[in-house]
Amino acid sequence: MIIVLSDVLPVPLLIQALDLFGTMAFAVTGAFKAIEHKSDIVGVIILATITGVAGGVMRDLLFGRIPPTAIVNPLYLIITVATGVVMFFLYRALKKHWNLFLKFDAIGLGVFTVIGATVAYNLFGLNFLAMVFAGLFTAIGGGILRDVFVNEVPIVFIKELYASASFIGIVMFFGLLAAGADLNVAAIPSIIAATSLRLLAMRYNWNLPASKT
C-alpha cells in the first residue's frame, strides 16, 4: 500500500507510520528538555514541536517544497502538541522510562535519515551530496535547535555517534539505490543500520575523537 507524504515523496504505509512515530519520539526529547529547564506548558509544546518537525520543515523550505510536509499533513503538529501536553502533565511518571524514549529517538533518527535522503532522491536522483545534506538536516536539525533554544551545546557535537550514524544510513541507502534496489527495499535496511549504530553507541558509549584544549 502506498501513501503520499507529499507531492514528490511516495512512501509505503510502514515508513509513514515510522515517520510519525519518529516525530513523536523527537517531540518527547524536546518536551523533556523544556520541562527540565522549567518551561511553562506553552514552552513545552513549542520545544516539542520544534524538535519533532523543524528539521523536515527547514529541509523542505531549502529545497523549495512549499508548503512543507509538516504543514500539509496536520498529523505532525497534532502529534507534537499532544506529546508536549502529555509530557507536561505526566513528566514525573514517565521520567523513569527515559532510556526507553532514547531508544525511540534512535528509531526516529534512522527514519528521518531515510525520509530526508528520499526527498533528495526524488528531486535530484542519485546525487550523493544532496542525499547527505537532506538526510542529515532532517535527522539532526530539530535536535540542534532544541539544544540551542535551552542554551546547551547540541548533543550531536559532543556525545556519542549521532550524525555519524545518520551518515552511515545514508551511505547504505545510496549504495543500495545505486545497485538497482527498489526505493522501498533500500529504505528498511538503511533505517535499521542508522538506528542500530545509534543504539550501539548509546550502549557502549562510543564517541568520535574530541578536540583537546
Provide the residue ranges of all domains of the chain, joining segments of one domain with +.
2-204
- Quote the pLDDT of residue 172: 98
- Quote the pLDDT of residue 213: 65
Counting as low any pLDDT under 50, the low residues of the chain are 1-9
- Quote the pLDDT of residue 65: 87
Instruction: Print burial letters for 134-149: b (CB count within 10 Å at least 16), e (below 16).
Output: bbbbbbbbbbbbbbeb
- Quote the pLDDT of residue 125: 94
- Quote the pLDDT of residue 159: 76
The model's pTM is 0.88
Share of the chain above pLDDT 90, in %: 67
- Quote the pLDDT of residue 11: 55
> How many angstroms separate the CA atoms of 16 and 67, rounded?
18
- Quote the pLDDT of residue 190: 96
